[in-house]
Amino acid sequence: MVVIVDYGSGNLGSIRNMLKKIGFDAIISSDHHVLQTAEKLILPGVGSFDQGMLSLEESGLIPILNQKVLEEKTPVLGICLGMQLMTKRSGEGNRSGLGWFDAETIRFDPSKTAQKYPVPHMGWEYVFEKNKSPLLDEMYAEPKFYFAHSYWVKCQHPDEVILTSRYIHEFDSAIQKGHILGVQFHPEKSHKYGMKLLSNFMTHF
């Protein structure tokens, strides 16, 4: 059973609908007993880093998530803010992240280039494979995904970066440490590419 973690942030229904479209059932829940039975977890998220961490803290979900992910090795996929919350910290606020990756979340700075780039970054971008992963198994040629974000993740370990993208500069758009995965883009909004990626997560992890 896959559980989409409900902490008051993210396109929960869109993710569940996309999973249903490719043949997988999912439960949206914040109930600790439901989470305890999860075979896979999806941590979604939109909005600010501090508010996301505050919501996780206030809902009491951090201990059960750490237990499932760090102790029981339950596969987990972070999406957008969900991926950023897996890092140690963010320039968006003062709260500590979950720290599942040795990484930090940084705001795009368009002032460092002569070309004008709007922030937040919204739209389709190509992704480029950096390391092999079952998440990318039999992926379509020249894959591209839909992004909507003002912050990007900088992972300290190159071997944990499986995809990069480019907006203003190159940034890590998918990361993996064993059973812990994060994507900056929205697979639930990325048509056939997102369906393939979600299907790989469901079948290979």
Verdict on whether the full-model pTM lies above 0.85: yes
- Among residues 80, 92, 121, 149, the one annotated as catalytic is 80
- Among residues 138, 188, 191, 204, the one annotated as catalytic is 188
Q: How far apart are CA 28 and CA 12, in angstroms?
A: 7
Domain count, the chain: 1
Q: Is 160 a catalytic residue?
A: no
| Residue whose token pair is 């992926």 | 139
Domain with 82 in it: 2-204
CB-based contacts of 147, cutoff 8 Å, min separation 6:
121, 122, 123, 124, 125, 165, 167, 173, 184, 185, 186
Q: Is 186 a catalytic residue?
A: yes
Q: Is 204 a catalytic residue?
A: no
Q: How far apart are CA 153 and CA 157, in angstroms?
A: 12
- Among residues 121, 149, 160, 186, the one annotated as catalytic is 186
Q: What is the pLDDT along the chain (205 residues), one digit of tens a residue?
A: 999 999 987 779 999 999 999 999 999 999 999 999 999 999 998 889 999 999 999 999 999 999 999 999 999 999 999 999 999 999 888 899 999 999 999 999 877 765 788 889 999 999 999 999 999 999 999 999 999 999 999 999 999 999 999 999 999 999 999 999 999 999 999 999 999 999 999 999 9
The CATH number covering residue 19 comes to 3.40.50.880
